Amino acid sequence: MLDIAHLRAETPGVGNVLHFNNAGSALPPRPVLDAVTSHLAREAATARAEYLSNYLAFLQMKARVGIEIDVVDSDASGQIDLAALERAIGPRTTLIAITHVPGRGGLVNPAAAVGRIAARHGILYLLDACQSVGQLAVDVREIGCHMLSATGRKYLRGPRGTGFLYVRHDTIERLEPPFIDLHAATWTDADTYVIRDDARRFENWERFVAGQIGLGVAARYAMRVGMDAIEARVKALATQLRGELAKQPGVSVHDRGVELCGIVSFLKDGEAPATTRERLRTMNINAHEARLSRVDPPTGGVHSLVRASVHYYNDEAEVERFVRAVAD
Ligand SMILES: *Cc1c(COP(=O)(O)O)cnc(C)c1O
């Protein structure tokens, strides 16, 4: 069981705001704040859906090197259609890239089932886990991904501007980093260099050290709280929130998928999502307006949803207050 009173006491932000925008950026716990600010103080004394952006990166690669992008449809439940994925694979397919939790709603894609398809066809598998790391117990071996990217600022509760990349050891040599310097490579001769054979090949010499320290503290903090307990608590709060919202007249919940996480998407009749968000904001409540992407399935004229994302440090009383504020 999680000691919610203690976890809230370690989260200064909960005293100021009802924060249901953890999928945007979570409130950092005291140890993360202390690690970052104390390091900054030291530096001061030492004088110195698919996620939309991912798709843009693929479009850039299309323009630059001529890759072809096949968008795999969703199935009736809303998650990636595994049979359609299997059918889309051809002799020239080199990468399967999916987003674990697209972030516009509660959907969790079946990452491990995709991993089994990737393994069967011998295709590289990249998982965007920006929304899942920190709220779900994510196990790269169970999922079978070759690469996983994650951000620090969201459910992991780390500093903004940080994140990490996981690459399976046997895959490292196949990935050439887009930028190299003397941290990532050794200059061997006038015209030759050797790229490191470990994780550091993906790093740069100059880094946001305070941010990295904070990210490390945030990761250890999450492990100490316990990823299984976090996942259970986040899912339970979100289930409560979905249930209570759906009971309100004129409020519709829009989460799709088989497995659902801590993100809840909804609409209030006669109120634009941006208006709902602004109205909540005047009550010192944070939620978010989530825009649908250009590759999302058509949703009958709806272009965005209100997104309320809970974390384990939120509590049942906040869920009640949130629902009253929406219904008001
Ligand atoms: C937020 C998000 C990202 C980008 O995270 P940054 O912190 O902006 O780097 C990528 N993918 C998904 C699914 C996200 O939700």
Give the model confidence (pLDDT) of 253-302 as tens digits. Answer: 999 999 999 999 999 999 999 999 999 999 999 999 998 876 666 566 78
Is residue 131 within 6 Å of ligand 1 at its C-beta? yes
Instruction: Give me the mean pLDDT over the 231-246 stretch.
Output: 98
In degrees and rounded to multiples of 5, residue 261 shows phi and psi of -115, -150
Q: Say what the pLDDT of residue 48 is.
A: 46
* pLDDT value at 8 more than 70: yes
pLDDT at 61 over 70: yes
* Nearest protein Cα to ligand 1, atom 8: 151
pLDDT, mean of residues 139-150 = 98
Report the pLDDT value the prediction gives residue 294, as an integer from 0 to 100.
Answer: 65
* 33-38 contacts at long range (C-beta below 8 A, 24 or more positions apart): 35/210, 35/213, 35/214, 35/217, 36/159, 36/210, 36/211, 36/213, 36/214
Instruction: Indicate whether 117 pLDDT > 50.
Output: yes
Give the pair of three-digit tokens for residue 257: 């998928």
Ligand 1 pocket: which of 21, 22, 50, 51 to mutate (most atoms within 8 A of CB): 51
* Average pLDDT of the segment spanning 73-100: 95
pTM of the predicted model, to two decimals? Answer: 0.91
Atom of ligand 1 lying closest to residue 162 CA: 7
pLDDT digits (tens, 9 = 90+) for 98-113: 999 998 899 999 999 9
Which residue type sits at 91? Answer: P
Question: For residue 184, how far is its CA from the centre of ligand 1 (angstroms)?
Answer: 24
Average pLDDT estimate for 193-201 = 94
Q: How far apart, in whole angstroms, are the C-alpha atoms of residue 251 and residue 267? A: 6
CA of 149 to the centre of ligand 1 (A): 9
Look at ligand 1, atom 1, and give the residue with the nearest C-alpha. 130
Answer whether 99 contacts ligand 1 (Cβ < 6 A).
Answer: yes
Name the closest-CA residue to atom 2, ligand 1. 130
Interval between CA 52 and ligand 1 midpoint (Å): 9
Confidence of residue 185 (pLDDT cuts 50, 70, 90): very high
Q: What is the mean pLDDT of residues 152-168?
A: 94
Q: Which residues pair with 148 in a beta bridge?
A: 127, 166
pLDDT recorded at residue 49: 53
Specify the pLDDT at position 43: 77
Using the predicted structure, report yes or no on whether residue 219 has a pLDDT greater than 90. yes
Q: Which residue has the higher pLDDT, 303 or 239?
A: 239
pLDDT of residue 295: 63
At 235, is the pLDDT very low, low, confident or very high (cuts 50, 70, 90)? very high
pLDDT of amino acid 206 = 86
What is the 51 CA–ligand 1 centroid distance (Å)? 7
- How far CA 255 is from CA of 21, 74, 134, 186, in Å, comes to 16, 14, 20, 49
Structural contact between residues 20 and 325, judged by C-beta atoms closer than 8 angstroms: no
Residue nearest to atom 7 of ligand 1 (CA): 151
Longest dimension (CA), the chain: 72
